[in-house]
Amino acid sequence: MIAIFFIADRFLKFLANGKLANISFKLINDIFTFNFSANYFIAFSLPLHGPWLNLIIGLIILILIHFLIKAIKNKEKIITAGLSLILTGAISNLIDRLLFGYVIDYLYLKYFTIFNLADVYISVGAILIIISLYKKPGR
């Protein structure tokens, strides 16, 4: 499943950065559109960028892999799923940063932000981990 998610995001980024780079089309009226955008910053376009950011993201990915291995060994299914989603999104976005110097965003939600599937994976993964932490015994 994770491989399919990764391939879907990479494929949409390929389209957004290639043949559809100068084309915008509506997915849901004017509210939700497919529109290429180069994001040189991090989440929600916070102004952090450059080689240090790539290094920090790489280190965070290594730390998350460590926790994923632990979660797999402990048979923590929800945390494993959450970390897998976060890693899938983080690695896909890091690939963009290393190849292009920016993250390829392509989904524009009016009045909110522009993002990509990798960002959705990271967000859903974080929500799963938070839910899992609150479901632990004694909470």
**How far, in Å, are 25, 36, 76, 88 from residue 69 at the CA level?**
41, 35, 10, 15
Query: Helix, strand or coil for residue 28?
Result: strand
Q: One-letter amino acid identity for 102?
A: Y
With a CB cutoff of 8 Å and minimum separation 6, the contacts of 76 are: 132
Burial of 124 (0-12, 13-18, 19+ CB in 10 A): middle
105 is a catalytic site residue: yes
Residue 96 a catalytic site member: no
Exactly one of 9, 30, 96, 119 is catalytic; name it. Answer: 119
> Which of 62, 51, 60, 59 lies closest to 98 in space, CA to CA?
51
The residues assigned a catalytic role are: 105, 119
